[in-house]
Amino acid sequence: MSSQSQVEVLLVEDNPRDAEMTLRTLRRRNLVNSVVHVKDGQEALEWLFAEGAHAGRDVSQLPKVVLLDLKLPKVDGLEVLRAMRADERTRLLPVVVLTSSQEDRDVIESYKLGVNSYIVKPVDFENFSAAVAELGHYWLLLNQKPL
């Protein structure tokens, strides 16, 4: 997944189907050249901070946006978010929660932790791909990156 080129999106998603649909949409719409997909929270943090399996990666190279699922094996999405916001290097990195959960709890907790956007994955594929396309368009093309 990783390449020498600039990574634009870090997709943290344990569900391979959702991941495939997300990636398909982003690619089909030509919104992204480089996506890194990690399957759990721990790997996400290792990638971000160049630790463990991703040791040696250039830590300064950060994506334009992190698409973060909440329900993840090992370290869940909120933990990942908390860790990112606690670390100076990733404190300002835009994070979009892309999840199935509509729970108020999750929404509120995410915003408290400093999420930039919270999107519930629609069941309907058309709606889903439209949502992904919109967020890709916004965060990758329109939004001014802080770092």
**DSSP one-letter string for 27-96:** HHTT--S-EEEESSHHHHHHHHTT-GGGTTS-TT---SEEEE-SS-SSS-HHHHHHHHHHSTTTTT--EE
Cα distances (angstroms) measured from residue 108 to each of 13, 99, 137, 146: 21, 14, 25, 23
* Cβ at position 2, least distance to other proteins in Å: 25
Residue 56 CB, shortest distance to other proteins, in Å, is: 33
Assess 40 for contact with other proteins (CB under 8 A).
no
- Positions 103 through 122 that interact with other proteins (CB under 8 A): 103-104, 121-122
Examine residue 30 and tell whether it contacts other proteins (CB under 8 A).
no
d(Cα 11, Cα 77) in Å, to the nearest integer? Answer: 11
Any contact of residue 100 with other proteins (CB under 8 A)?
Answer: yes
Contact 86, 98 (CB under 8 A): no
Q: Does 2 bind other proteins (CB under 8 A)?
A: no
Nearer of residues 70 and 93 to other proteins, judged by Cβ: 70
Span interacting with other proteins, options 1-9, 86-94, 126-134, 139-147, rule CB under 8 A: 126-134
Total site size for other proteins, rule CB under 8 A: 21
Q: Is 99 in the site for other proteins (CB under 8 A)?
A: yes
133: helix, coil or strand? Answer: helix
The percent helix, strand, coil of the chain (3-state, each to 5) is 40, 15, 45
For other proteins, the closer CB: 18 or 46: 18
Q: Which residues bind other proteins (CB under 8 A)?
A: 15, 17-18, 21, 24, 70-71, 99-104, 121-126, 128-129
